[in-house]
Amino acid sequence: MTLPRSIPWIAGLLVAPVVLALLFVAIFGWNWLRGPIERMVLDKTGRELAIGGDLELSFGWTHPRLHASTVTFANPGWAREKQMVTADAVDIAIDLPQLLLLKIVFPEVRLERGVIFLEQGSEGRKNWLLDINQQDEAARILISRLAIDHGTLGFDDAGQKTRIRAELSTLDSMSGPQPNGDGLAFTAQGQYKGIPLKAHGKGGPVLALRDESTPYPLQVELSVGRTFVKAEGTITSLVKFTAMDMHLALRGDSLAQLFPLLGIAFPETRAYVTEGQIVHVGKTWRYEKFSGRIGGSDIAGTFQVDSGGKRTAIQADLVSRQLDLADLGPLIGARPGSLDAAREAAPAPTSNVVPTPAPARVLPVLPFKTGHWDSVDAEVTLKAGSIRANDLPLEDLVTHLSLRDSVLTLDPLDFGVAGGHLSGVISLDGRKDPIQAQAKIRARKILIAKLFPKVELSKTSIGQINGEFDLTGNGNSVGRMLATSSGKVGLVVKRGEISQLMMEKAGLHLWEILGLNMTGDRLVKVRCGVANFDVREGKMIADALIFDTEVTTLVGSGSIDLGQETLDLKLHQKTKNTSPLALRSPIYIRGSFARPDIGIDKGPVAARVLGAIALAMVNPLLVLIPLIDPGPGEDSDCRQLIRDAQALPRQQQKQRSGVIPAR
């Protein structure tokens, strides 16, 4: 059987172009494509592509590879560096199906001694966008994985004060076996958002830029300013950070310094160090099973950040075995270890004039930094077993911090103190300037002896303190909030015993003091103690100030100025037993919170002494008459005093709600 003559001719016509193309490539190679490729790139991008060496193409069904030697690709005219890419050799895998859809996707790019400079300029221009104006986000080449054999990576962003240069080199066999061949070592330095940056580490041989299926192994040590990071694990997609699983160690001077790095508004803290496992999936970051210290406090737990909502959302469950109260100082505007926060915050003098020393301050005056409160929502639970607070016996702290729409709330705020309990709610509204603050605190069953363990006269004292604090104020620091505060403060002491020597000294009963020093101190019953203050614009005015025992009653009056941090109180003694030798002079408590001055009114004392001298001149037996305290003072109506004290916060609450209590 013979074939028709037309069939060989048809086959020849079909095969001839392929044969001619193969002959053309065999004779001239692929270098003839350099000119058309360079012209096309210049026409599309306005930037010059130069291929100085040979051009080769190897075919594959879906990913043909292009190899070129001595390649440069220019930056736009506004960029700092002249060239965006320079390499001795470039090997590119091309995604053919995507190319047929007019999309340029490179599954892998390999550079030999490559130099890459990426830069973001003004008006949203980015040199890796390949349109004429470098502003079209769609005009980019998508690269999944990048391999660089001894090269340089640079990134500049003048608007963000960022300039980073990284040197990359291939690890040799001395660095240990790598799963996919020799790995990559790198060093980097520069500035990140104006903060000095240094880094070094090593990773896998191919940088997984957009590969969302292959975790990239990475070890890195990084310092940004005074923040130091050490991490080891895997990252999936170095561009998108779609997943992460790394062991992380972190230390720095303050958690607030993490804001430029993470965009999360942490509070000011003392120096910290922490270590744990960080896991990232989607838009959720989770710092798991971490432990560490902030100042003198240990801290452990889990910390989660979710960036998928309107604002970054933080959830944390924190535990501390021993919490140092001084570490919370920066949170409320006080500097640890210093009562004189105002003086520390004051600017240094610029002249030779000797400045007048500022009065010592006790209340924190450094302002809260609310500028980032609207960038984050937070729900944080903290539990602490032991609390170190100088001489204050605090323990078992439980609190929940909530930050929503720039309103920070501590609810509940519970902790044990001196065998008793403090509980309350504190709210700071950061939407207003100055901050509007409200605090409601209840004190229950606080033991006097434990509250003042170093006061000699209180060691034998038995009694419980209960109290209510309900204050509102405005200000950007704790000190300013209290200086403008209004509300009520009430304290009640009922049932107990106290040192008789302490009360006789308060009553200035010299005869009884002498006797007790000879026979020894004893306990007397405390009938009641009441301290009620009406607070108006930072001034606490005493409504009731009474301490009643079976031997002496102290009745006080006066005020406390929270703005000036000054005391102006006077105590009158009323003895219940006749004392043959007493000064019977009011006691005043004046001075500042930092330096209180307790003394007696010298006028009445001088008058009695002069009277005694005058009578002695008449008859020596009359000398004691001016010094006798005849007594007896009456018992206070403790039940009514306590009822009034306990009713004041409720009465105030009703008045705020528009209800006038019946009388």
* Tens of pLDDT, residues 488-525: 998 888 777 777 777 777 666 665 666 767 777 777 78
Rg, the chain, Cα only = 40
Determine how many CB atoms are found less than 10 A away from the CB of residue 245. 14
Residue 625 banded pLDDT, cuts 50, 70, 90: very low
Task: Tell me if 93 is assigned to some domain.
Answer: yes
Q: Do 235 and 218 meet the contact criterion of CB atoms below 8 Å apart? A: yes
Q: Does 453 lie in the same domain as 405?
A: no
Return contacts of 646-652, CB within 8 angstroms, 24+ apart.
646/468, 646/490, 646/492, 648/468, 648/488, 648/490, 648/532, 648/543, 649/468, 649/470, 649/488, 649/490, 652/470, 652/487, 652/488
User: What's the pTM value of the predicted model, to 2 decimals?
Assistant: 0.68
Q: Does 587 lie in the same domain as 470?
A: yes
Sequence-ordered list of residues with C-beta below 8 angstroms from that of 655, at least 6 positions apart, any chain: 661
The pLDDT value given to residue 325: 76
Give the helix/strand (H/E) hosting 23: helix 6-28
Reduced to 3 states, what is the DSSP secondary structure of residue 47?
coil
Give the Cα separation of 129 and 101 in Å (integer): 19
The position carrying tokens 């002069």 is 610
Residues 410, 412, 415, CA angle at the centre, nearest 5°? 105
Task: Tell me if 275 is assigned to some domain.
Answer: yes
Out of 116-125, 443-452, 474-483, 573-582, which region has the weakest mean confidence (pLDDT)? 573-582
Nearest Cα to Cα of residue 145 among 172, 106, 180: 106
CB half-sphere exposure, 541, CA atoms < 13 A: 7
Q: Does 452 lie in the same domain as 512?
A: yes
Say if residue 323's pLDDT is above 80. Answer: yes
Token code pair at residue 552: 């002496």
Nearest Cα to Cα of residue 277 among 252, 251, 301: 301
Reduced to 3 states, what is the DSSP secondary structure of residue 62?
coil
Say if residue 644's pLDDT is above 70. Answer: no
Choose the final residue of a domain: 160, 185, 211.
Answer: 160
Q: Does 372 lie in the same domain as 260?
A: yes
Q: Does 484 lie in the same domain as 627?
A: yes
One-letter amino acid for residue 250 of the chain: L
Task: Tell me if 230 is assigned to some domain.
Answer: no
Q: Do 235 and 215 meet the contact criterion of CB atoms below 8 Å apart? A: yes
Task: Tell me if 3 is assigned to some domain.
Answer: no
Token code pair at residue 656: 């705020």
Q: What percent of the chain clears pLDDT 70, i.e. is strictly above it?
A: 73
Burial of 651 by CB count in 10 Å (0-12 exposed, 13-18 middle, 19+ buried)?
A: middle
Residue 602 banded pLDDT, cuts 50, 70, 90: low
Sequence-ordered list of residues with C-beta below 8 angstroms from that of 560, at least 6 positions apart, any chain: 533, 539, 540, 566, 567, 568, 569
Out of 59-68, 330-339, 438-447, which region has the weakest mean confidence (pLDDT)? 330-339
The pLDDT value given to residue 87: 95
The pLDDT value given to residue 356: 45
Give the Cα separation of 248 and 231 in Å (integer): 5
Q: Does 448 lie in the same domain as 392?
A: no
Give the Cα separation of 73 and 169 in Å (integer): 22
Most confident option among 56-60, 341-345, 469-473, 586-590: 469-473
The pLDDT value given to residue 207: 85
Give the Cα separation of 438 and 422 in Å (integer): 16
Nearest Cα to Cα of residue 536 among 489, 571, 490, 478: 489
Say if residue 340's pLDDT is above 50. Answer: no
Give the Cα separation of 499 and 285 in Å (integer): 58
The pLDDT value given to residue 647: 55
Task: Tell me if 213 is assigned to some domain.
Answer: no
Burial of 100 by CB count in 10 Å (0-12 exposed, 13-18 middle, 19+ buried)?
A: exposed
Say if residue 381's pLDDT is above 90. Answer: yes
Q: Does 380 lie in the same domain as 295?
A: yes
Using one digit for the tens of pLDDT, what is the confidence trace for 181-220? Answer: 468 899 999 999 999 999 999 998 888 888 788 899 999 9
Return phi, psi of residue 33, to 5°. -80, -15
Sequence-ordered list of residues with C-beta below 8 angstroms from that of 567, at least 6 positions apart, any chain: 558, 560, 561, 589, 590, 591, 592, 593, 596
Sequence-ordered list of residues with C-beta below 8 angstroms from that of 317, at least 6 positions apart, any chain: 301, 302, 381
The stretch 222-245 carries a mean pLDDT of 91
The pLDDT value given to residue 516: 66
Most confident option among 100-104, 473-477, 623-627: 473-477
Q: Does 527 lie in the same domain as 380?
A: no
The pLDDT value given to residue 279: 94
Token code pair at residue 413: 């705020």
The stretch 384-393 carries a mean pLDDT of 77
Choose the final residue of a domain: 417, 450, 479.
Answer: 417
Measured CA to CA in angstroms, residue 561 lies from 434, 537, 592, 596 at distances of 20, 9, 9, 13
Task: Tell me if 49 is assigned to some domain.
Answer: yes
Q: Which residues, in sequence order, are bridge partners of residue 597?
A: 590
Average pLDDT, the chain: 78
Q: Does 440 lie in the same domain as 412?
A: no
Q: Does 558 lie in the same domain as 580?
A: yes
Q: Does 515 lie in the same domain as 403?
A: no
Q: What percent of the chain clears pLDDT 90, i.e. is strictly above it?
A: 35
Say if residue 658's pLDDT is above 70. Answer: no
The pLDDT value given to residue 153: 94
Domain enclosing residue 301, as ranges: 253-336+363-417
Q: Which residues, in sequence order, are bridge partners of residue 523?
A: 499
Give the Cα separation of 13 and 15 in Å (integer): 6
Choose the final residue of a domain: 122, 137, 160.
Answer: 160
Token code pair at residue 395: 């323990």
Residue 5 is classified by DSSP as T
* pLDDT top residue among 271 and 606: 271
Q: Do 508 and 583 meet the contact criterion of CB atoms below 8 Å apart? A: yes
Task: Tell me if 175 is assigned to some domain.
Answer: no
Sequence-ordered list of residues with C-beta below 8 angstroms from that of 447, at least 6 positions apart, any chain: 418, 419, 420, 462, 463, 464, 465
Task: Tell me if 38 is assigned to some domain.
Answer: yes
**Residue 98 CA from chain centroid, whole number:** 47
The position carrying tokens 């102290």 is 554
Give the Cα separation of 425 and 402 in Å (integer): 11
Alpha helices in 498-625 (DSSP H): 500-506, 510-519, 602-618
Query: Is the CA virtual torsion 17, 21, 24, 27 positive or negative?
Result: negative
Out of 66-70, 89-93, 543-547, which region has the weakest mean confidence (pLDDT)? 543-547
The position carrying tokens 């000699």 is 456
Reduced to 3 states, what is the DSSP secondary structure of residue 626?
helix
The number of folded domains in the chain is 3
Q: Does 407 lie in the same domain as 449?
A: no
